[in-house]
Amino acid sequence: MKSIFVLAFAFFIAIDCYSQASKNQDLISQVTLSNSIQYSDTSFTDLPGNGFLIEFGDEILAVTCKHALWANRPKGMKTIDFQGKLNEWKMVVINDSSQYVILGDLINTNNNESIGERNTDKDYLVFRVKKNHSKVQPLKLSMKPVQVGDTLFQVGWTYQTKTSVAELHMATAYGYLGPSLLSNYLVHKNYAGLSGSPVINKNNELVAIVSTWKFDMASQKWFNAPCSIDYLWEVLYSYWLTENQKEKSLSSFQEFLSFYKKRNGNKLEVSSYLYSELFYNDWLKSKGYKYGSIEKFSQWTSGIMDLYGIKIIADDYRKTLLIFDGWKEAYSVGKMEIVDLEQLFVDAKVSLPDLINFYEYSQELSAIKKYDKAIAILMFADEKIQHMGQLYAFLGDAYLAKGEKELAKEAYLKCLKTYPEFPQAMDGLMNLKKYNH
C-alpha cells in the first residue's frame, strides 16, 4: 500500500510539473537568444552561449553568461574588459535571421576581474541595447527568493539542439549555496551549450542564469548550479549609482530599492548574501582588516541592525568562508597550520569551503613567494574535496611560479584530461613554452 501511495504521489507531482511547463511553453521562442560575437581579430558565431533581455526601470538591457569569455575572446584578453577589441556583439534568434539585437556598452566591465574560475559566482555580462530587431520578451526579475522544491524552467539551445527551436528544461530547486541556486534536472541528458540561458520561475520571472555544476560538501552531491540573480542586482545597483552620480552605501542602496519598487510595483526581498557581498568587505577595509572572521562579521551585522534595523544572518555557507578567513589570518602569522583547518570546520559543524577558495589562497601565497605553502594547501584540498580537475591548473601555476616546470606541465595536462580546454591550464602551457624559449 505504501509503495502505491508513493507512486501515486510521484505521478501527481509529475503531472503538476508538466502542467506548469505547458503554461510556460509559449516562452520558448520568445525569451532566449544566442550570441554572435565579432572581435577585431576573430569571431564566434557557433552558439557561444545563450542570452536574453531584462527590464530595468524604463530601460531594456541584454544579459549573457560571463564564462562565455573563457573560450570566446580575442587573444590577450585577460580581464572583463574588451579594451576596444570588440567590433560587434549581437544576439540572434536561431533559425530566424530577421530577429536580432545589437548590443551596446558592457555595463559591468572590470579590468580588475580576471577571466577564470571565479566568474561562475558572478556569471552575468550586462549590456546596454543599441538596436532591438526582435520579438523577444524582456524578463522581469523575481522579487522573492526561490524556495526548496520550486519548479524552475531553463529556456535555451544546447549544442545538440542548436539547429532547432529553443527548448524548455525543467528542474527542481534544492536550495542556495552562496551565489548559486542548486537544482536537479527532471530529465538527465547532455545540457552542454545551455550556458547563458535564463532560469525562470512559474511566474515567468528571472531567478538565475544557467552557469555551471557544483559539488555540495554538505550533501556530498553534484548539482546543476545556475548563478542566482543576487550578483545581477549588484550590477544594476552599480549602474544606477553611476547614472545618478551617487556613492555606494546602505543609504543609497535603500534609495535604489525604492526606485525599483516605484518602477516595478514590488519590493525586493534582499538576501543576507546580497547585503554581505555588497557591504561587508567595504566595512573590513574601512577598519584596516585584511581577513574577516565570525567575530568581525557579528560586529558588522550588529552595527547594521542598530543603524538600519536590517537583520543579516550568517548561514552555513557564510560561516564556512568566515572560518576559513579566520584560519588564514592565524596561519599567516604562524599561529595555526594546515592540520588545524579541518578541525575548525568540524567544531563549527560546517563543511569545508568550495575549492575556489583554496585556489585563490594558493595564488595569494605564491604572490608572496611562499610556493611550498601554496602547493601544500592545494594538496590538502585535493585530498579532502571532490573536484573535476581544475585544481591541477592552479597546482600547475604554483609549480611554475616555483620554477618546477616539469611538475607544472604534468599538472596542467592532468587538468586537461578531465577538463578539456580549461583556459587556465591552456594559458599555463603557453607560459611554459615561453619559459622554454
Domains in the chain with CATH codes = 32-133 (2.40.10)
Which of 188, 198, 193 has the alpha carbon at shortest distance from 227?
198
Going by DSSP bridges, is the β-strand pair 50-56/205-216 parallel, antiparallel, or unpaired?
unpaired
Provide the grid cell at 407: 611538475
pLDDT greater at residue 285 or residue 25 = 285
Element (H, E) at 151: strand 151-156
Residue 202: strand, helix, or coil = coil
Mean pLDDT across the chain, nearest whole number? 90
Residues 181, 222: Cα–Cα separation, whole Å = 12
Residue 418 has pLDDT above 60, yes or no: yes
Residues 272, 89: Cα–Cα separation, whole Å = 34
Residue 5 has pLDDT above 50, yes or no: no
Residues 376, 395: Cα–Cα separation, whole Å = 10
Residue 191: strand, helix, or coil = coil
pLDDT given at position 26: 54
Q: Are 92 and 36 in contact (CB under 8 A)?
A: yes
Residue 419 has pLDDT above 90, yes or no: no
Residue 427's pLDDT band, with cuts at 50, 70 and 90, is: confident
Which of 270, 248, 274 has the alpha carbon at shortest distance from 261?
270
Residue 13's pLDDT band, with cuts at 50, 70 and 90, is: very low
Beta bridge partners of 53: 62
pLDDT given at position 334: 87
Q: Are 21 and 153 in contact (CB under 8 A)?
A: yes
Residue 15's pLDDT band, with cuts at 50, 70 and 90, is: very low
Q: Is the dihedral of CA 209, 214, 220, 223 positive or negative?
A: positive
Reported as a single tens digit per residue, the pLDDT across 333-358 is 889 999 999 999 999 999 999 888 99
Residues 342, 362: Cα–Cα separation, whole Å = 17
Going by DSSP bridges, is the β-strand pair 86-93/125-133 parallel, antiparallel, or unpaired?
unpaired
Q: Are 359 and 382 in contact (CB under 8 A)?
A: no
Average pLDDT over residues 381-404: 89
Least trusted range by pLDDT, from 23-37, 48-62, 171-185:
23-37
Q: Are 379 and 355 in contact (CB under 8 A)?
A: no
DSSP per-residue letters across 17-29: HHHHHHHHGGGTT
Residues 348, 350: Cα–Cα separation, whole Å = 6
298 phi/psi in degrees, rounded to 5: -65, -40
Residue 387's pLDDT band, with cuts at 50, 70 and 90, is: low
| In the chain, % of residues over pLDDT 90 | 76
Residue 215 has pLDDT above 70, yes or no: yes
pTM comes to 0.89
Residue 16 has pLDDT above 90, yes or no: no
Which of 177, 52, 64 has the alpha carbon at shortest distance from 121?
177
Residue 159: CB atoms within 10 A of its CB come to 12
Residue 45 has pLDDT above 50, yes or no: yes
Q: Could you write out the three-class secondary structure of 250-277?
A: HHHHHHHHHHHHHHHCCCCCCCHHHHHH
Q: Which residue's entry shows cell 541595447?
A: 129
pLDDT greater at residue 84 or residue 437 = 84
Residue 153 has pLDDT above 70, yes or no: yes
Q: Are 196 and 50 in contact (CB under 8 A)?
A: yes
Q: Are 211 and 195 in contact (CB under 8 A)?
A: yes
pLDDT given at position 27: 52
